[in-house]
Structure 1
Amino acid sequence: MYKRYWDEERETMPREKRAKLILEKIKKQLHYVYHEIPFYRDLYDRAGVKPDDVVTLEDFTTKIPVVKKSMLRESQEQHHPFGNYLGANLSPIVRIHGSSGTTGKPTFYAISQKDWDHVAEVHAMCFWAAGIRPSDRVHLATHFSLFIGSWGSLIGVEKLGATAFPIGSGETDRQLNLLWHLGNTVLISTPSYCLHMLETARHQGRDTANSPLRMGIFIGEPGAGIPATKRAIGEGWGISVADCATTSEMTPWTTNCECEERTGMHVFNDAVYTEVVSKDNPNEPVPEMTSGGLVYTHLERESQPMIRFWSGDESRMTNEPCACGRTYPRLPDGVYGRLDDMLIIRGANVYPSAVQKELLEVPGTGVEFRIVLEKKGHLDHATVQVEYNPVYYNNIPAHELPQQLDALQKAAAVKLKNATGVRFDVEVLQPETLERAISKAKRVFDHR
């Protein structure tokens, strides 16, 4: 019989005691980065703030400026290769990772041995909370390249004592053959690739609801916190679904992670302090359960520490107790939007994750879709292309299928209009029309 917690004293600590501990860690980090890291000293001097100005957690939110990804890119352009925020007097750098580099050149992450050991401990704690145990065999279907999510998952699984099968992503037919052959019990992947694996397994004729898997942890992109997506994965595979992750800059990135109660992601805020702030002003805190932007701070990283990193993620936070007994706050709805990914269509704000949520609630839609935006004259024109689910229409006579798909198209258009206020043209596509992602899915094609 396994213990319930990885570190019971830490995870069940009274909130007031933890808040004092967090404040002390913040003060220590502020002095470290100000005196040892030029990037932060310059940032704080320009803002007219000193470490000793922070006496309370509220001071930290209202006085300390945020760091944005664009600032990190600029720093690395000017101070090759790691920027002027690497850190001083460190133990040797033992790992170099990076962003996916969708803008061209990746942002590099340099990690010391001390920090990599810290990552292993935090990831093990969070994976344990999600439900992985040493008896599990973990199928790591993530991209082993620059993407630090894969390597962080691997080290967390190894530290926890479970068996890791780091197969990576791609070669999906082979993935599935090996998953069944080895009897792997836990899947770690992006939600998009998991759904692709599910679709492929069904085409192979497999009984997916009775696979060897018992649970999955989903990282790298929003999705597993969207109820319809979570349901599609959970029911399709017959597994328990855990949503997890912050951003790669914030490694250890597991510090937003669901426990076995599956009531939203716990925020392990004594490792990475997490704030919810105004979308328009990152120095303005918002009340509990108010939607806002997520800002993260490393409390123990010495190499490339992020202090008040503006993630661009949107969520809301609660301190309501969880039945698991952990006293960390929670993001009850997970991360449900990317403020940076928000689309403005004819003056309306639309999130791709909201479109995904609404589509998956229309009976008969498949899991693959994309949004295509164009200009027609002076106006925005929005189209959603979505595949239909062949399993749903399996027993429909061929001559009736066009009529059924026409009804699906109309139902999806009405659903999207009611939810977003934007009229989308909906195109219902044949299954397997859209390209499948082996990592993060590209959903938006903006040609305006």
Structure 2
Amino acid sequence: MSMDYTPYWNPVLEKMDREKLQRLQLLKFKRIFTWAYEHSRFHRALYDDAGIAPADIHSFEDIRRVPKVEKSMMRGIQRKDPFPYGDMLCVPLEEVTAFRQTSGSTGQPVYQADTWQDWEWWAECWSFIMWAQGYRPSDRVFLPFGYNVFVAFWAAHYAAEKIGCELVPGGVLDTQARILKIQELKATAIMATPTYILGMADTARRKMDIDPAGLGVTKVTCAGEPGASIPTTKQRMQDAWNARVYDHAGATEIGAWSYECAAQPGGMHVNEAFFLVEIEDVDSGEIIDEPCRRGKMVITALDRFAQPCIRFDSKDIIEWGEKPCACGRTFRLIKGGVIGRADDITKVKGVLLAPSAIEEVVRGIDGLGDEYEVVVDKLGDIDRIKLKVELDPGQEERAKVIETELKDQLRLKTNLSYRLEFYDYGRLPRYDVKAKRFKDLRKHL
């Protein structure tokens, strides 16, 4: 028996004329804004206080008058009636079919309610991502994540099934068992955080005498951390697995909003058929439309109804790309993917520092392991920054050369000098999901 599968290369949406696409976004924004205004006590109060109503939305300039929502607001209303979501919920509780929550890496987890329609929308967003990255019904996709209340790759699971891939869930297995299952079943694709992708490769080589590059994996899709958009980290993963590595960005309260396509243009497409992304200057609040100017992302999920995400202040730092992508999609590119979070970009000795810049340096130096740790503190009134790194086994004789290169590259890429500490391989902490490598102790002084 043969089956026909609907391709997710959708030229009607993905190659839509920009003017038509913006008209679609405006119509969708007005629809979700009206829905929230009429069905959510939280949104109604927020918009009434700002003096804006559905009848006032006619243009993108009007959209910019709509108040932003921050994660702290969502935390403030949850665990109230209707329990546990509070008065942001737009549907009766009996219509909620899926519960997820954020990872809690930036504070108390935020609860997310979805209807069956919302969850189908999540899977549809992910279907666009996977098709753009070359996933096809012939793929056998291994998902090595722990299936729990954190959204992680849940929607990727359903999207893989939706486009016809064979899906192998590896949630309850440990790392070595997952590697053996990938080997046994000849999986062609895997999805995980960059930290775990590198960790799996390291476990295969050092503990199991298995070369991950020979396992036959051809595609790796990453999420959860900026690593897959950092060239040196991407290269380490591609070399380790002998596979194409793709980035994607999403969040529990937003959805899967951007993706790298098979053309790998040095950035990610915003899935503009389903999301409206604005870039806001961190200091002035001005909306940035021109390329190559960084700001924080304000995003609206245009088709998510149980718990709407309207002008959400994500804190993600991004910038528009300069050129259209060679793949033919008209969805705009964000250059270099998500650069970091506004919460993480901090001043050290008067210099703005993005932790991703340190990762790019460490992962680009031959002889250093994949793990590192950054600690910022103060001595009196003076900022100090320490970088802990591991030497790969057998690199002891090159330690001085590596140290000199590391100092030079850090100075060049971050304009800062560091106290360096070198450790034997395996001494620094390992992480399975989101890594916590940047520690700013000044916040606790």
TM-score by length of 1: 0.92
Question: How far 1:146 sits from its partner (Å)?
Answer: 1.6
Instruction: Name the SS of the counterpart of 1:158 in structure 2.
Output: helix
Structure 1 residue aligned with 2:402, among 408, 413, 425?
408
Summarize the Cα distance change of 1:18–1:167 in structure 2 as closer, same or farther, 3 Å threshold. Answer: same
Query: Alpha-carbon deviation of 1:5?
Result: 4.3
Aligned partner of 2:214 in structure 1 is 210
The answer for the alignment partner of 1:143 in structure 2 is: 146
Pairwise CA distance, 1:379: 1.9
Number of the residue aligned with 1:280: 283
Cα distance, 1:414 vs structure 2 = 2.4
- Cα displacement (A) at 1:47: 2.0
State the Cα distance separating 1:272 from its structure 2 match: 1.5
Which of 196, 199, 210 aligns to 1:196? It is 199
Task: Look up the equivalent residue of 2:432 and give its one-letter code.
Answer: I
Aligned length: 436
Q: State the 1:321 CA deviation.
A: 2.5
Contact 1:366 1:389 in 2 (8 A): yes
The SS at the match of 1:246 is: strand
Match of 1:331 among 321, 330, 334: 334
Tell me how far apart the structure 1 counterparts of residues 14 and 190 of structure 2 sit (CA, whole Å).
25
Partner of 1:417: 411
Does the alignment pair 1:60 with 2:63?
yes
1:106 to 103, 109, 112: 109
2:259 matched to 1:242?
A: no
2:309 matched to 1:306? Answer: yes
Give per-residue Cα distances to partners, 1:76-121, cap 9 Å, x unaligned. 1555411211113687110111011246642111110111112222
Report what 1:428 is aligned to. 422
Partner Cα distance (2:154, 2:8) in 1: 23
The Cα of 1:280 is off from its aligned counterpart by: 2.3
Match of 1:381 among 380, 384, 387: 384
Cα distance, 1:319 vs structure 2: 6.5
Larger CA deviation: 31-40 vs 218-227: 31-40
- Work out the CA distance in 2 between the residues paired with 1:245 and 1:287: 21
1:223 aligns with 2:223: no
SS of alignment partner, residue 384 of structure 1: strand
> Residue 183 of structure 1: CA displacement?
0.5
2:228 aligned partner, one-letter code: A
- How far did 1:12 drift? 1.7
Off by >3 Å, runs of 4+ in structure 1: 1-6, 77-80, 88-91, 102-105
2:172 and 2:312 mapped to 1: Cα distance? 29
Measure how far apart 1:279 and its partner are: 1.7
**Structure 1 residue 70: Cα displacement:** 0.8
Distance (whole Å) between structure 2 residues aligned to residue 332 and residue 2 of structure 1: 32
User: Structure 1 regions of 5+ residues with no counterpart?
Assistant: none
Distance in 2 between the 1:159 and 1:434 partners? 40
2:25 alignment partner, one of 19, 22, 25: 22
Q: Secondary structure at the match of 1:340?
A: coil
Work out the CA distance in 2 between the residues paired with 1:3 and 1:81: 37
> Does structure 2 retain, via aligned residues, the 8 Å contact 1:222–1:336?
yes
User: Quick one: structure 1 residues 103 and 284, their matched pair in 2 at CA, closer, same or farther if it must change by over 3 Å?
Assistant: closer
User: How many angstroms does 1:283 deviate by?
Assistant: 5.1
- CA contact 1:5–1:11 (8 Å) conserved in 2: no
> Counterpart in 2 of 1:164?
167
Alignment gaps of 5+ in structure 2? none
Structure 1 equivalent of residue 74 of structure 2? 72
Matches of 1:195 and 1:162 in 2, distance apart? Answer: 24
- Match status 1:439 vs 2:430: no
Q: 2:87 aligns with which of 84, 87, 95?
A: 84
The Cα shift of 1:407 comes to 2.4
TM-aligned CA deviation for residue 27 of structure 1:
1.0
Residue type at the aligned position of 1:26? F
Determine if the alignment matches structure 1 residue 49 to structure 2 residue 52: yes
Letter in 2 for 1:446: D
Tell me by how many angstroms 1:443 deviates: 0.6
**Partner of 2:74: helix, strand, or coil?**
helix
Q: Give how far 1:166 is off.
A: 1.4
SS at match of 1:110: strand
> Is 1:187 aligned to 2:190, yes or no?
yes
Q: Secondary structure at the match of 1:370?
A: strand
Alpha-carbon distance between aligned partners in 2 of 1:188 and 1:94, rounded to the nearest angstrom: 25
Per the TM alignment, residue 53 of structure 1 is displaced from its structure 2 partner at its CA by: 2.3
Question: 1:341 is paired with a residue of what secondary structure?
Answer: coil
| Contact 1:91 1:113 (C-alpha < 8 Å) held by counterparts | no
Q: Tell me whether 1:289 sits opposite 2:292 in the alignment.
A: yes
Residues in 2 aligned to 1:333 and 1:91: alpha-carbon distance in whole angstroms: 42
Number of the residue aligned with 2:41: 38
CA spacing shift, 1:42–1:166, aligned 2, 3 Å: same
Q: Distance in 2 between matches of 1:120 and 1:386?
A: 39
Amino acid at match of 1:76: Q
Q: Which residue of 1 aligns with 2:258?
A: 256
2:73 partner amino acid: M
In the other structure, the counterpart of 1:119 is 122
Residue type of the alignment partner of 1:117: E
User: Which residue number corresponds to residue 346 of structure 2?
Assistant: 343
Counterpart AA for 1:291: R
Distance 1:49 1:3, change over 3 A: closer
Native 8 Å contact 1:169 1:439 kept in 2: no
Cα distance in 2, alignment partners of residues 33 and 319 from structure 1 = 34
- Structure 1 stretch displaced more, 300-309 or 381-390: 381-390
Match for 2:222: what amino acid?
Answer: F
- 1:50–1:192 Cα change, 3 Å: same
CA apart distance, 1:129: 1.0
Tell me if the contact between 2:279 and 2:288 (Cα under 8 Å) persists in the aligned partners. yes
Contact 2:5 2:163 (C-alpha < 8 Å) held by counterparts: no
Residue 50 of structure 2 aligns to which amino acid in structure 1? A
